[in-house]
Amino acid sequence: MNSQESTLNHPVFYDEPGSRHLASFLGYHVKENEKVFVLVDENTQHHCLPSLLDKLPDNLPISVIEMQSGEKHKTIQTCLHIWEQLNDNLADRNSIIINLGGGVVCDVGGFAASVYKRGIRFIHIPTTLMAMADASIGGKTGVDLHSLKNIVGTFQQPIGVFVYPHFLKTLPDRELYNGFAEMLKHGLLFEYNYFMQLAEAGPENLTTDDIRISVEIKSDIVQKDPKEKGIRKTLNFGHTIGHALESHSLLHDEEPLLHGEAVVLGMMAELLLSEKKHIATQADVDPVLSYLLDYAVLYNITDSCIESIITLISNDKKSFHGAAGFSLFRKPGYILTGIECDTELVRQSLAELKNVLQNNH
């Protein structure tokens, strides 16, 4: 296999009545005496692990590793715990980790696997909408450094992803809206009719086909640009400001914003920034803003919050010499990447977003 083939996208399997995809897959990939580990958090251990065990091949010995849930546990310390558990259980280079959880479990488990003994195989079984439609797809792994998102990570593909939509029934509404944000982004960037269909229907009316469309959109981009050198950068729309806002919230709020909540606000701010940079017209920006406003958390963007966001943007992992390269909106389906923006324009865009949110209280 040449190096280009080795970075190609992974297979994604969808649950269907009577399907035994996972059992067949593991039966093929796990040889005698090879060890299988399942990484869970306290939520997926309770709500999802029993269902997963029913899908595993008979007599497959597994070891369960538990981590704590939430973005604040997306750290090297959590990885140390995972590596110690792997080592104590004599995991070798032929072992497999199944990451059963949301975006944090998939990101942390994938990273821990990608560097343990210089890399062991892993499978994602996403249990949240965020993970099904986005985080489990594409081979990005990582952990946060203090409040800075995904500063330490690797590009490493799972050997497979298994989507079981029935896990969504275990989620609170807030988690559904969290993942819905990335699906809206996929539609806005690559299939505007899909964006409008999603925005008008809402996350309560999602179908497996909707998830499949998002997966296919992201998979297609990753296939073309697995290491984010070109077109994959378009997927960062809303994330330069969104990640900084999420980091600010993690530092200052008792109940921090979820990733998708920050991304919706980030997309709105970057739409306004695109208009101020004369990349987009108001006629193209306003309808999209109106759709996104229906899914926006009415977050209190104070002056100190704005300054905090601007400082955090300079530490964004996509920045170069301290200047962030924004992915900005020109019109539906057309994103320009690597755009540098004056701090004052970013400040003005955030101030305008603050006014938009206040006017809709």
Q: Report the catalytic residues.
A: 118, 140, 182, 218, 228, 232, 236, 239, 243, 259
Q: 260 CB contacts (<8 Å, ≥6 apart)? A: 130, 177, 178, 179, 180, 181, 182
Other CB atoms within a 10 A radius of the CB of residue 231 amount to: 14
Q: Quick one: CA torsion of 199, 124, 143, 173, rounded to 10 degrees?
A: 30
Which amino acid is it at 102?
G
CA distances to 75, 107, 118 from 151, rounded to whole Å, are 10, 12, 19
Q: Please state, in angstroms and rounded to a whole number, the distance separating the CA atoms of residues 30 and 62.
A: 11
97: enclosing H helix or E strand: strand 96-101
CB 7 within 8 A of CB 222: no
Contact yes or no for 264/292 (Cβ under 8 A): yes
Q: Hey, how many other C-beta atoms are within 10 angstroms of the C-beta on 289?
A: 17
CB 10 within 8 A of CB 159: yes
- Let me know: does 171 contact 180? Beta carbons within 8 Å: no
* Amino acid code (one letter) for 177: Y
